[in-house]
Amino acid sequence: MESLIQITIKSAPILGMFSKATKGAKAFNYGSSAGPDCDKCCPHHPESISAHAKSADTLCYAWKVERRHDRQQLQNKLHRHQLTNREHLTALAMAEVDKIKSVIPWFRFSAFGSVPSLPPSNFRQLCQLLEQRNTPLHLPVESVSKTLRYRKELKGLKVAVRRSCGSVRSFVRSSIRSNPLSVVAGTMQQSPSDRIVESKRVAAMRTKRTKRKTVVCPAVATIMTGNRSSKAKCGNCVACANPDIDIVYPVHK
């Protein structure tokens, strides 16, 4: 990572927002989806899927969103972040957090892309800063090896390093030592209501097997049903920050 250069535009904010979050929430992205930070073992990585198997269900959701014609500004920002030294980028994010005087109700890592393969040397410091501010964190990680690295790095902090399972089978059958976990359920061939029903079924299967509380993401579910309730937003719901809860996300665009 030492070869990365510091090209982040000084006036451009490092932190961003995302539509499923409540007002005041922040997102921090290290780079592009399916980029150098994303582990190719992820079954949704474009390079891990054969050409004939690619579909709306298999391809990375964030990767597809980034490539929309109306997301050029987002693409440019993620590209700048990808080429910026990981420690320098983390330090800039910390500086922005410091400048925010109001409550940050939710902090999301990797709304796009993923955290670096190896935790930046000041990553724990950023998480400590947010913990001191009582800001709940959502930290998704896409592989077992990366999950273990980040859990080791953040040991002792109240941070749920949540592994994103590549299949429902893996999600349901993973041992309780693997917690916390998440998974995407349903197919785009199903109606939105059927995808929510399937997600609830998967959640119930996980709970039955492990006795752990498992919930369907309310932010995704309400968007799919057309109910843009301000209550069902990240920050109002903090389940993803709770290591004692597993999450099912209905597949969506």
DSSP string, 164-194: E-SSHHHHHHS-GGG-SEEEEES-TTS-HHH
**144-176: pLDDT as tens digits:** 999 999 999 999 999 999 999 989 999 999 987
Q: Which residue has the tokens 């996300």?
A: 249
Domain boundaries, the chain: 1-164, 183-253
Q: What is the mean pLDDT of each run of 10 residues along the chain (253 residues)?
A: 49 88 96 82 64 51 64 85 96 97 97 94 98 97 94 97 93 88 93 96 96 95 78 93 96 82
- pTM score, two decimals? 0.87
**66-104: pLDDT as tens digits:** 666 667 788 889 999 999 999 999 999 999 999 999 999
- For CA atoms 130, 219, 200, 48, the dihedral sign is negative
